[in-house]
Amino acid sequence: MQDKNSTLKKNRFDFKSIRNMVGLSSFSSALMAIILGLVFGFLVMLLAKPGSALAGFQNVVFGGFNRIGDVFYYATPILMTGLAVGFAFKMGLFNIGASGQYTMGMFFSLYVGFMWDLPSSIHWIVAVLAGMIGGMLWGFMPGIFKALLNVNEVITSIMFNYIGMYLVDMLIQGSSVMYVSNKTRTNYLPSEVQIPSLGIPGSNVNLGIILAIIIAIILYIVLQKTTFGYELKATGINKYASEYAGMKGKRNIIITMVIAGGLAGLGGAFAILAPSAIAGSSMTYEPINIIAANGFNGIAVALLGNSHPIGTILSAVFISHIQRGGTLASLVGYKPEIIDVVVAVIIYFSAFASIMNTTVANFFKNHLRKKQKASDNSIEEAE
């Protein structure tokens, strides 16, 4: 009897401690959103083309494993834009302008890559840093508008997405060194400006992913271990309380947006400075007046990762993984856009997944309690 009782108590204890772990709870709600999103995607596939739905779905879920290198390669820019969105989100700012910052970063990197004459050993590093500065500049704008003029950062950053995109397209089309007009694309970058490849055959994966992961870890440390990180989180939780406690809200808004912009700009730099699999060529930019999709994917990455830097790494890799799977699904007649649908549904659900999560958890808790009561009763009866 004694034994049984103690194991029961142990069980109860374990359950409570699991429920109290914040990280796990946000993880499980993210997981729930992912499952719902994938189920929705499967239903869409079933409706669109019933015959090959199963094969297509298999490609989406498992296809990425065959192309690990590419998964990490495509995860690099969205990890950076995801960090940019998530970092601002920690402060309660919704940085929907990661696209513009990303595009600006790209342009600054391209400019340094083509126009500056630097020793080949440091050229790519300078180009990456230039990308960061470009992004910072474009993050500074919404920050200053919000801090000094009280303009909602969502509207500002959307407007600056368009302004940045048109500006970059205009500047690139105006430069004969960068732009090849008969290909309507930018020229290939000289090889010393390209980020060193990791040398995985058949894939473009480069040093960028490692740098991105290091940056994510640095951000984690900044958020957890520094005064600035503490102030940032405090402002995000309660603006008025933190102001009352003497934190300089306006200054922190600007700094946060500048850092967020810099992160997105680095994403742009990592994307455009990447070497391509074809020898001697590199990634190119096509000025066609369309806002960079990677910025919006960054929102998905950040939300799925609960704005936590480490969570963002995982969610960036996950989203990149199903995106690769989506391109494979086109082998059986689907279009890669299915993944954008799935990702949008995942975000939709993740916006209220925590509520659903508590509901489900409560359900299980009640269920368990009832069970426990029943077993307690039976124990008493036995005694």
Partner 1 sequence: MNTIYYLIQNMLPVAMPLLLVALGGMFSEIGGVVNIALEGIMLFGAFFGALFVLIVQGSGMDPQTVLLLGMLVAAVAGVIYSLLLSFAAVNMKADQVITGTSLNMLIPAAILLFSKMFLFSDGVTTNMNFYIREIPVLGKIPVLGPMFFQKTYLTVFIGVVLLIISVIIFYKTKFGLRLRACGEHPHAADSVGINVYKMRYAGTCISGILGGIGGFFYSVGVMDGNVNGHTGVAGFGFLALAVMIFGQWKPMKILFASLFFAFLRTLAYSVALIPFLNNLGINQTFYKMMPYLATMVVLAFTSKKSRAPKAEGVPYDKSQR
Three-state SS string over 192-205 comes to HHCCCECCCCCCCC
Nearer to partner 1, 114 or 348 (CB): 348
**Closest to 307 in 3D by CA, of 110, 91, 125, 97:** 91
Does 102 contact partner 1 by CB under 8 A?
A: no
Residue 46 Cβ, how far from partner 1 at the closest point, in Å? 13
Asked if 312 and 302 count as a contact pair (C-beta separation under 8 A), the reply is yes
Q: How far apart are CA 373 and CA 368, in angstroms?
A: 8
**Closest to 79 in 3D by CA, of 256, 266, 223, 253:** 266
Angstrom CA distances, 378 to 4, 160, 187, stand at 12, 67, 78
Nearer to partner 1, 8 or 163 (CB): 163
Asked if 289 and 169 count as a contact pair (C-beta separation under 8 A), the reply is yes
Does 290 contact partner 1 by CB under 8 A?
A: yes
Query: Which one of 72, 73, 111, 160 is in contact with partner 1 (CB under 8 A)?
Result: 160
Residue 106 Cβ, how far from partner 1 at the closest point, in Å? 17
Does 124 contact partner 1 by CB under 8 A?
A: no
Q: How far apart are CA 305 and CA 301, in angstroms?
A: 6
What is the 8-class DSSP label of residue 21? -
- DSSP letters for 278-293: STT-B-----SS---H
Of the ranges 185-193, 221-229, 351-359, 369-377, which one interacts with partner 1 (CB under 8 A)? 351-359
Residue 165 Cβ, how far from partner 1 at the closest point, in Å? 9
Nearer to partner 1, 49 or 367 (CB): 49
Query: Which one of 228, 340, 361, 372 is in contact with partner 1 (CB under 8 A)?
Result: 340
Tell which positions 246-265 bind partner 1, by CB under 8 A.
none
* Alpha-carbon dihedral sign for residues 285, 286, 289, 292: negative
Of the ranges 63-71, 166-174, 206-214, 228-236, which one interacts with partner 1 (CB under 8 A)? 166-174
Query: Which one of 15, 94, 188, 230 is in contact with partner 1 (CB under 8 A)?
Result: 94
**Closest to 353 in 3D by CA, of 91, 42, 90, 31:** 31
Does 337 contact partner 1 by CB under 8 A?
A: yes
Nearer to partner 1, 261 or 275 (CB): 261
Burial class (CB in 10 A: 0-12, 13-18, 19+), 167: middle
Residue 226 Cβ, how far from partner 1 at the closest point, in Å? 27
Nearer to partner 1, 17 or 152 (CB): 152
Query: Which one of 15, 27, 114, 162 is in contact with partner 1 (CB under 8 A)?
Result: 162
What is the 8-class DSSP label of residue 305? T
Does 110 contact partner 1 by CB under 8 A?
A: no
Pairing outcome for strands 185-186 and 179-180: antiparallel
Query: Which one of 88, 269, 319, 338 is in contact with partner 1 (CB under 8 A)?
Result: 338
The runs of H, that is alpha helices, within 21-67 are: 22-48, 53-62
Nearer to partner 1, 158 or 222 (CB): 158
Does 49 contact partner 1 by CB under 8 A?
A: yes
Q: Which residues contact 60 (CB under 8 A, 6 or more apart)?
A: 38, 41, 322, 325, 326, 328, 329, 338, 339, 342
Query: Which one of 255, 303, 317, 319 is in contact with partner 1 (CB under 8 A)?
Result: 303
Does 277 contact partner 1 by CB under 8 A?
A: no
Does 179 contact partner 1 by CB under 8 A?
A: no
Does 355 contact partner 1 by CB under 8 A?
A: yes
Binding footprint of partner 1 on the chain (CB under 8 A): 44, 48-49, 94, 96, 145, 149-152, 154-156, 158-160, 162-163, 166-167, 169-170, 173-174, 289-290, 296, 299-300, 303, 333-335, 337-338, 340-341, 343-345, 347-348, 350-352, 355-356
